[in-house]
Amino acid sequence: MSFEVKDLRYTYEDYLVLDGITLPISDGEIIGILGPNGCGKTTLLKNLNKNLSPKGGVVMLDGQDIQELTKKEIAGKIAAVPQTNEIHFAFTVRDIVAMGRMPFQSMMGGESSEDSRIIDDAIEKTGLSGYRNRLINTMSGGERQRVIIARAIAQTPQILLMDEPTLHLDISMQFDALKLVSSISKENGMTVVIVSHDLPLVSRYCDRIVMIHDHRIFAVGTPEEVLTPENMRTVFNVDADLVMDEKIGKRTVMIHDSLGRP
């Protein structure tokens, strides 16, 4: 499936947020979107599934302008894990996860046996088997986030968009969640785009990093190519090094301090 951003521009009223973003995205790759607060990371992600409409440029999905596709057509290919997970209605965990199958069901068709299998598999993979009948509005933020990730997995997307997916999760579940997403990506060729502030996790799981600065793409490439000390100083105003993690055989980011701090 082809997926590409071409010369994307976005403004909030008169405030420029994204300016000339061009990014081809390959099938099955995991991309991390990094940058300081306010640089436009979440805005870019929302443009990728038509939650926002660009002021210029285009997002192309399988050769079509995504703005010309219906929400249901997009949901059949793209799933999203948003940054906020507040749900105020008394749905059970299974109810929420089952919503991931809605793009594939007719108005009168209901849930098929294949839908049920996919829903149960998503619940099991995210460690929620003991919670399936729990009301989601009684759960902690971290537990709710696992349910939202399970719903996205049940959607069997070709493209998964994740906005700060580990924000509400405890440390062990942060690794479990991204390990699961990475595994599904490798097994099924699912493309994943992750917005995150967690540089060590992103450098561990992403194939490619896009660093945004001053509303534009500042650097793009492998974690080793992008997360250099020079780039980290310019974009994040911190001293940082790429160090080898011998257990995983990959480099990860070690942040020392903000520049100029005593």
- CA 190 centroid distance within chain: 12
Under a CB-based contact definition with an 8 Å cutoff, are residues 126 and 146 in contact?
A: yes
SS3 246: coil
Residues 178 and 71 reside in one and the same domain = yes
- Hey, what are 170's tokens? 């405890």
pLDDT score of 259:
63
Residues 54 and 18 reside in one and the same domain = yes
Kindly report, residue by residue over 142-174, the tens digit of the pLDDT.
888 899 999 999 999 999 999 999 888 888 888
CB atoms within 10 A of CB 20: 13
CB atoms within 10 A of CB 70: 9
- CA torsion through residues 32, 83, 237, 200, sign: negative
**What is the rounded distance in angstroms from the CA atom of residue 16 to the CA atom of residue 5?**
17
SS3 155: coil
Q: How many domains does the chain have?
A: 2
Does some domain include residue 248?
no
Domain ranges, residue 139: 84-156
Here the CATH number for the domain that contains residue 62 is 3.40.50.300
Under a CB-based contact definition with an 8 Å cutoff, are residues 155 and 100 in contact?
A: yes
For the chain, give the mean pLDDT.
91
Average pLDDT estimate for 64-92: 90
Give pTM, 2 decimals: 0.92
Does some domain include residue 235?
no
